[in-house]
Amino acid sequence: MSARGKAPRYWFEGPVPWHARLLSKAYAGAIALRMRLFRLRLLRRVRIARPVVVVGNLIAGGSGKTPLAIVLVERLRAAGWNPGVATRGYGRDDAGTPRWVDEDTDPVLGGDEPVLIARRTGVRVRADADRVAGARALVAAGCDIVVCDDGLQHYRLRRDIEIEVIDGRRRYGNGQLLPAGPLREPAVRGESCDFRVLNVGGDAIEAGFGEWPMRLVADHAQPLVGVRPMPLSAFVGKRVHAVAGIGNPERFFDTLRSHGIAVVPHAFADHHRYAAQDLEFGSDLPVLMTEKDAVKCRPFATGRHFSVPVRAELPEAFWVALLDRLSTLKPTAS
C-alpha cells in the first residue's frame, strides 16, 4: 500500500506481515548504503549561497509540516528576511518539470501543498523534484533564505537548520521502517535535528524533553464561493459532511467535533485528486474540508462548500531560539 494512501493498520497496532518485515530489512540496507556514500563523499552535498531551513518528518504521511512552513515563512518575513519555499510538489502531473507556483496555479500542475503555501503567504514558491535546483532558482529570484517544505531525506541539499515535525498522536507508530512501519529513516535520526516540533493539534498532549509543542488552531470556515468567512460556532450542533484527503484525516474530523459540530466523515487518500462527484453525498448538508482539499475543489464548488483554515501556534521561545540561530547566517548589507 502506498505511503501516500491509507496507512496500513499494522503500522500503529497489530502484528506486521512477514513480507513487510523482509522488505523493511532491504529498505534499511538501502538507507545505510546511501548514508555511507554521503559520508565517503561519493555522493555530493551542495551548499547554495543562502541559508536553508528544512521542515520535514520521519514518517510517511502527514504530520503538520505545511502549517509550520507557512507560519515559519510569515515569521521570517516579519523578522526582515525575504523567504522563498522549495518543494517537490508531490502528485503534480508535470513532476519532471520545474515550475513557479502562485495562488492561481492549477494544483494538477503545481501540487496542492505548493498552491496552498503560495495562496497563504504570497512568497515565491518553486516546485522542483531537484531541491538544489529549486533552491538556486529562489536565490536567483531574490530570496535571501530558502524554506524546504519536506525534504528532510533530500541530503544532496545542504541545510543550515533542520526542523522535525512529529505527529503528537501517532508519533513513530510501531517504530519500524517502511513498509513494516511508517518510518522513512530510523527514529534516532530525529535526535540530529536542530528543532523537534510536536504537533499536538488542539489536544492536551504533553511535549517531551527537547520537543516544542505546536497547536493547530481553527476558528472559522471560508466559503469556496464567496468571500465572507463564518465562525465555526455557526455550525455548532449541526450535521456537516467533513472531507479530508490528508495524511491523518481523523485529526481534521476531531477538530470539528471539538467545536461541537456533528461530523459525517469522508476520508480520502493523501493528495487525492478530486472530481465533482466525490463531493456528492446525497444530501444538502454543508461540506467542510481542509485547505489542502479546497484548492483542488474550487472549480466545481458551490455555496455549500467551505474550507477550514488552520494556523500553527508555537511558544514564543521557539521563535526566539530559531531567529537567534538564523541571525548569525544573515548576509550583512554592503
DSSP for 149-185, written as a single string = ES-TT-TTB--SEEEEEEETTTTTTTS-BTTTSSBSS
pLDDT of residue 7: 77
| % of the chain exceeding 70 in pLDDT | 96
In a domain, 16, yes or no: no
Residue that is written with C-alpha cell 531560539 in the block: 321
* Residues 87 and 231 occupy one common structural domain: no
- Tens of pLDDT, residues 77-88: 999 999 999 998
3-class state of residue 223 by DSSP: strand
Residue that is written with C-alpha cell 513487510 in the block: 20
Q: Which three cell numbers, joined as nine digits, stand for 150?
A: 519536506
Res 213 pLDDT > 70: yes
Question: Residues 164-182, buried b or exposed e (16+ Cβ, 10 A)?
Answer: bbbbbebbbbeebbbbbbb
pLDDT of residue 137: 97
Residue 265 CA to residue 44 CA, distance in Å, equals 46
* Residues 318 and 183 occupy one common structural domain: yes
Looking at residue 46, the DSSP 8-state letter turns out to be B
* Residues 195 and 104 occupy one common structural domain: yes
In a domain, 14, yes or no: no
Over residues 170-178, mean pLDDT: 92
pLDDT of residue 203: 65
Q: Provide the whole-model pTM.
A: 0.91
pLDDT of residue 246: 86
Res 1 pLDDT > 60: no
* Residues 88 and 174 occupy one common structural domain: yes
pLDDT of residue 228: 87
We report the CATH number of the domain holding residue 138 as: 3.40.50
Question: Considering only CA atoms, which of 283, 285, 279, 230 is closest in space to residue 259?
Answer: 230
Res 332 pLDDT > 70: no
Over residues 296-325, mean pLDDT: 94
- Mean pLDDT, the chain, as a whole number? 90
pLDDT of residue 244: 92
* Residues 30 and 88 occupy one common structural domain: yes
In a domain, 288, yes or no: yes
DSSP for 75-136, written as a single string = HHHHTT--EEEEE--TT-TTTTS-EEE-TTS-HHHH-HHHHHHHHHH-SEEEE-SSHHHHHH
* Residues 157 and 302 occupy one common structural domain: no
**198 bridge partner residues:** 166, 213
Q: Crossing angle for the helix pair 65-78 and 112-121, nearest 10 degrees?
A: 30
Looking at residue 209, the DSSP 8-state letter turns out to be T
Q: What is the extent of the structural domain holding 323? A: 25-215+313-327
pLDDT of residue 265: 95
In a domain, 285, yes or no: yes
- With bands split at pLDDT 50, 70 and 90, how would you rate the model's confidence at 334? very low
* Residues 211 and 224 occupy one common structural domain: no
pLDDT of residue 3: 36
* Residues 140 and 153 occupy one common structural domain: yes
* Residues 245 and 105 occupy one common structural domain: no
In a domain, 50, yes or no: yes
Residue 256 CA to residue 250 CA, distance in Å, equals 10
- Tens of pLDDT, residues 233-278: 999 999 999 999 887 888 899 999 999 999 999 999 888 889 999 9
143 residue type, one letter: C
pLDDT of residue 2: 34
Which CA distances in Å does 114 have to 66, 77, 156, 268? Answer: 9, 18, 21, 19
In a domain, 10, yes or no: no
* Residues 188 and 255 occupy one common structural domain: no
pLDDT of residue 6: 67
* Residues 148 and 236 occupy one common structural domain: no
| Count of the separate structural domains present in the chain | 2
Largest CA distance in the chain: 64
In a domain, 8, yes or no: no
- Tens of pLDDT, residues 15-70: 999 999 999 999 999 999 999 999 999 999 999 999 999 999 999 877 889 999 99
* Residues 196 and 50 occupy one common structural domain: yes
pLDDT of residue 211: 93
Q: How many CB atoms lie within 10 A of CB 112?
A: 28
In a domain, 13, yes or no: no
Lowest mean pLDDT among 14-23, 153-162, 324-333: 324-333
Over residues 1-18, mean pLDDT: 73
